Structure 1
């Protein structure tokens, strides 16, 4: 993609307003938290104290709107504490420009590295720097700085207390994640009726698994209806694919196919009913006609062989879902928290070693996170020095814009830069017009600031441009409490916002972390993870000692994570103005399709793992060993842009097929499909093949 087209696409993305479900009660609760802090400090303290302290409640409330499975009060408290520390350090260093710049460089470097822990940590750390840049411009002494930071921390406490005292749809995020997973499997079942090899998006199942990870405190209070559904939903997915597949499942046409379509439709209806009930916290209303289909017909079974086994397994799994929906499941107790009945999530203190490991992992020069941190610290320092040297005042606005705009990838940085300027232009002009025409006093300015906060929380997920409109208005009205005239703010803020956004974009262009050159590595990682999953399933089919369901499950999760990493990287690379440094788009698409079909073929066999030693155990074990031996060289070939050589795998499959003759079982048919997918992968890569040892 050329630079002109990349800039056009990112600008369009930044200005896009998306439709999003609104949560007015949650937004109102967050705005009330800000109003309490502003009103209290304005009544008992001073206008400048009110302006400084309000940022704690504002940013703490903003942190609770991020996509996180941790309790919202913990997010508010953590954000408030971090903001207090950041602001106090800023006050101590703000007396001298050189000292403040050194502190700003160090603090933004840590802020950038926070993205290694996760996106929520990165966003909250970004808020810390942005709030610090604003609050330290308000004059105060060291005792006053302590007072300000205490009130900022109090803002987090107030937001946390409001969440505890006035819960709005508790466990709503976890409910939605589990319901989305069940609805995704239901939609997959319906699509298989028309397309037996329809693709499946594993993202909802991955989100549901992440939402199911609990701390011991969460486990004690988890609602019973959030327990017992995700496991069967995970197991239903490969059984659905196996039943619909024309090679290992029902016949392509005839009564068997009709029966398979009926079973798929009935499964989709039942899972949709359960998902609806979980999302709304209501009793499950199961459709009786669908439940009647999920029984053996009065005239006897219609399906035969592997299709019949898949149908019986599907009926049993749907029955498990129905049983979990009809009977209450006991919440996990404190003792139960230790018996692995839920996925363990580290507590907040337990996150410290996890965060340190993540930081060490990203502390390498090629890491996009480290490059983002270096870029962020350099741009923020340059923006602060430039803005301070200019005659407009309010020099913090340029580095604050850079900090809020910059992200580890190109697309988000440039789209947010455009959105930031457009939103700031609209917000500053609207707020400036109100200040010029109405001349509101401190209390009226505080009310207008709280109104902007409420609208921001309400419309936060509609787009960054919309959010920036209300953020800009909030800052204008809040500083108006402290006596800042609108004429002193509008022109300077527009110019400095443009400067900060331009510096952010220039910083990424001069010191990029392109995703395109790493696509080949992502593809190789996906092949390696898929290969481990395939080997584990074939070894499990062969009854390999020491290999249980847990190992197969972990390899499947690794394969899913590698696939999502590839898809996210490919999506980011699509918007980058980089040429000829990654795989050809058509080749990448073909390779992606081949690896997706490889994972699907393995999933078909996973649905038929036997309880007893199968007749094809030795052949399956030999095939798995051959594939395992060929994988390292194949992964290296994909990483280097060459075609992998699967000659040894073809030989192993040929031996297997000659041994079984005409009596081919499910495993050998899956192996044949798998080899076809591996050949498709080799054909998608342009480089010459090098024979493997």
Structure 2
């Protein structure tokens, strides 16, 4: 390795990450999701318009509830995954709605309570097993909450069918673009890797290099997840997909080269930093949209294969391979995210059921049979796998206050049905934006829409103040139960993720020197992926209040040291004579947060 690589100028041996404020300010804002906002507006307003025009208001409102929940789970991931998630969510919500409705029609308040608690136990037992299971479990409980809390006239099967129709509308609006831009999402994800690689090379030798390399890892992880189902051979692939696969395999190898150049810690000329963009234009000619300034240097970007840096030599080799269309495929599989233990599943299920039970008892005391808002809020707030519970509760309360104020202002101006449906369209677009940017913003839109839907069902009571108090009470129930009985859940998960990440980094260090290129790429991807997940879990743990006088271990130090270790291994793998390895990163003991 070069002397510059050994000295690592500008980087401390401790490798402490930047502050939270710097991380927050360093994250670029994503573009406004106009297409998703339009889908949210249409999906929520169209059923109501049809219902008002045809006189079938009750089924249209239930379809609106289905569309509301569908918009909350709409995303920008591949169409196949999107349809699967929305479909499972819709079926779970319809089953929950049916169960809740039947318990309400029994006329026994005990039947409603038992149904809610049973649904909470089932939802909690499956919610920590992955994204689709989590979404399905939450909406199963939401369906029971609405079905048991809002009496709806008509046959027992009408409401679940109408709810499924609303979810189906969201699926149709979300997946229709697949017909004319089938692999657009995959192309955008792969292209983002090349852009992130160019940014990482531009930051080499500066204090921003490590953050840029981490953004490259995040882009590679996202592209890997998006392309995952295409990496398994499934017969003869179409031309566009073959080109995408080839571009992805190059991107994986480019990630190794960029990490090595970042480790070498010396500024690179513009001709080198533009190489990834030119490669993207070559491999993705129909969607690269590379700036013209990059293409103007296409004749100058080919690095010299005799360069004095292993990273530059590797970049030159990779660039020449893409020119000659000789690209080796890399068999990769992202490691599965470690599941929570059985005890965590059981504890979460019991705590969620207990919170729902307390909320339902409070609802019966405060509101009689129309107190569905309390258990519904518990179902929304108590989702530790969606982020810090404390922050989610605060955002829920803030969004409810703003949503109540917003819909209150609208009803002061007009009570015309069509005007209210127009307001639903606006709030639906706002909610779709909030789903991607901020939970409080999404809650604002959802709260306002629910008020209009309930009004269309015939409940014209002024419940603005009551709903704010209900939300605060439900959030307090969740926070009290969670931090009294499971205060170390986020810390325990962070400890487990950090240990798994360090193990992957050590495996990469031990096996990479003797591994074949394909195996080395797989080891490297697994290590960086685990480290990125661990960093996210640690941020989650820091978002939760800790017990007084009991701080969290310095996981950031261990993760940063492991990242430097992986950077060094990557650089050494590309060098002719690997030097001695850096010391093993220190891992703080996690006994204090393990139970």
Task: Report the TM-score when normalising by structure 1.
Answer: 0.70
- The aligned residue for residue 547 of structure 2 is 578
State yes or no: 1:596 paired with 2:554: no
Structure 2 residue aligned with 1:65, among 75, 95, 100? 75
- The aligned residue for residue 502 of structure 2 is 527
State yes or no: 1:375 paired with 2:383: no
- The aligned residue for residue 314 of structure 1 is 315
State yes or no: 1:476 paired with 2:451: yes
Structure 1 residue aligned with 2:92, among 54, 73, 82? 82
State yes or no: 1:49 paired with 2:18: no
Q: Judging changes above 3 Å, is the alpha-carbon distance between structure 1 residues 358 and 87 closer, same or farther for their aligned structure 2 residues?
A: farther
Structure 2: runs of 5+ lacking an equivalent: 1-19, 591-595
- Deviations 1:11-36, CA, capped at 9 Å, x for gaps: xx9xxx99542232332234323333
In the TM superposition, 1:36-435 aligns within 5 A as 36-44=46-54, 46-65=56-75, 67=77, 70-94=80-104, 95=106, 96-140=108-152, 144-165=155-176, 171-194=183-206, 198=210, 200-201=213-214, 202-214=217-229, 226-242=244-260, 261=269, 264-270=272-278, 287-294=295-302, 296=304, 303-304=307-308, 307=309, 310-321=311-322, 362=340, 364-365=342-343, 367=344, 369-391=345-367, 394-408=370-384, 412-435=388-411
Q: Judging changes above 3 Å, is the alpha-carbon distance between structure 1 residues 292 and 282 closer, same or farther for their aligned structure 2 residues?
A: closer
Does the 8 Å CA contact 1:182/1:272 hold for their aligned counterparts? yes
Does the 8 Å CA contact 2:302/2:316 hold for their aligned counterparts? yes
- The aligned residue for residue 538 of structure 1 is 513
- The aligned residue for residue 6 of structure 2 is none
In structure 2, C-alpha distance between the alignment counterparts of 1:322 and 1:112, rounded to whole Å: 53
State yes or no: 1:28 paired with 2:38: yes
Instruction: State which drifts further: 87-96 or 269-278.
Output: 269-278
Secondary structure of the corresponding residue to residue 270 of structure 1 = helix
State yes or no: 1:557 paired with 2:531: no
Does the 8 Å CA contact 1:205/1:234 hold for their aligned counterparts? yes
- The aligned residue for residue 619 of structure 1 is none
In structure 2, C-alpha distance between the alignment counterparts of 1:570 and 1:24, rounded to whole Å: 32
Q: Judging changes above 3 Å, is the alpha-carbon distance between structure 1 residues 220 and 110 closer, same or farther for their aligned structure 2 residues?
A: farther
Does the 8 Å CA contact 2:201/2:273 hold for their aligned counterparts? yes
Q: Judging changes above 3 Å, is the alpha-carbon distance between structure 1 residues 420 and 66 closer, same or farther for their aligned structure 2 residues?
A: farther
Query: Shift of residue 212 of structure 1?
Result: 0.5
Query: Shift of residue 383 of structure 1?
Result: 0.3
Query: Shift of residue 163 of structure 1?
Result: 3.8
In the TM superposition, 1:620-639 aligns within 5 A as none
In structure 1, C-alpha distance between the alignment counterparts of 2:507 and 2:322, rounded to whole Å: 30
Query: Shift of residue 537 of structure 1?
Result: 1.2
Does the 8 Å CA contact 1:52/1:138 hold for their aligned counterparts? no
In structure 1, C-alpha distance between the alignment counterparts of 2:277 and 2:286, rounded to whole Å: 14
In structure 1, C-alpha distance between the alignment counterparts of 2:190 and 2:499, rounded to whole Å: 31
Does the 8 Å CA contact 1:530/1:559 hold for their aligned counterparts? yes
Query: Shift of residue 411 of structure 1?
Result: 6.1
Q: Judging changes above 3 Å, is the alpha-carbon distance between structure 1 residues 221 and 303 closer, same or farther for their aligned structure 2 residues?
A: closer
Structure 1 residue aligned with 2:466, among 492, 499, 506? 492
Q: Judging changes above 3 Å, is the alpha-carbon distance between structure 1 residues 590 and 362 closer, same or farther for their aligned structure 2 residues?
A: closer
In structure 1, C-alpha distance between the alignment counterparts of 2:301 and 2:330, rounded to whole Å: 32
In structure 2, C-alpha distance between the alignment counterparts of 1:362 and 1:584, rounded to whole Å: 20
Structure 1: runs of 5+ lacking an equivalent: 1-9, 247-251, 330-339, 346-353, 541-547, 609-664, 688-693
Query: Shift of residue 509 of structure 1?
Result: 1.4
In structure 1, C-alpha distance between the alignment counterparts of 2:243 and 2:442, rounded to whole Å: 35
Does the 8 Å CA contact 1:459/1:466 hold for their aligned counterparts? yes
- The aligned residue for residue 535 of structure 2 is 567
Query: Shift of residue 427 of structure 1?
Result: 1.5
Does the 8 Å CA contact 1:197/1:241 hold for their aligned counterparts? no
Instruction: State which drifts further: 265-274 or 287-296.
Output: 265-274
- The aligned residue for residue 477 of structure 2 is 503
Secondary structure of the corresponding residue to residue 145 of structure 1 = coil
- Deviations 1:472-496, CA, capped at 9 Å, x for gaps: 1101111111222142x22321221
In structure 2, C-alpha distance between the alignment counterparts of 1:84 and 1:269, rounded to whole Å: 47
In structure 2, C-alpha distance between the alignment counterparts of 1:203 and 1:18, rounded to whole Å: 13
Does the 8 Å CA contact 1:34/1:57 hold for their aligned counterparts? yes
Does the 8 Å CA contact 1:266/1:291 hold for their aligned counterparts? no
Does the 8 Å CA contact 1:398/1:500 hold for their aligned counterparts? yes
| The structure with more radius of gyration | 1
Does the 8 Å CA contact 2:303/2:312 hold for their aligned counterparts? no
In structure 2, C-alpha distance between the alignment counterparts of 1:523 and 1:62, rounded to whole Å: 31
CA RMSD of aligned residues (A): 4.1
Q: Judging changes above 3 Å, is the alpha-carbon distance between structure 1 residues 319 and 110 closer, same or farther for their aligned structure 2 residues?
A: farther
In structure 2, C-alpha distance between the alignment counterparts of 1:310 and 1:85, rounded to whole Å: 56
Query: Shift of residue 432 of structure 1?
Result: 2.9
- Deviations 1:666-686, CA, capped at 9 Å, x for gaps: 22x1xx2x2x322xx35x869
Query: Shift of residue 313 of structure 1?
Result: 3.2
- Deviations 1:398-455, CA, capped at 9 Å, x for gaps: 11111111221696211121221222122123323433552334x5444433332233
- Deviations 1:508-531, CA, capped at 9 Å, x for gaps: 112224333565554433332222
In structure 2, C-alpha distance between the alignment counterparts of 1:172 and 1:607, rounded to whole Å: 33
- Deviations 1:63-116, CA, capped at 9 Å, x for gaps: 222656635444443332222222111111223222222222222233234433
The answer to which structure, 1 or 2, has the higher relative contact order (CA under 8 A, 6+ apart) is 2
Q: How many equivalent pairs are there? A: 556
In structure 2, C-alpha distance between the alignment counterparts of 1:197 and 1:485, rounded to whole Å: 58
Does the 8 Å CA contact 2:59/2:159 hold for their aligned counterparts? yes
Query: Shift of residue 322 of structure 1?
Result: 5.4
Q: Judging changes above 3 Å, is the alpha-carbon distance between structure 1 residues 155 and 197 closer, same or farther for their aligned structure 2 residues?
A: closer
Instruction: State which drifts further: 269-278 or 36-45.
Output: 269-278
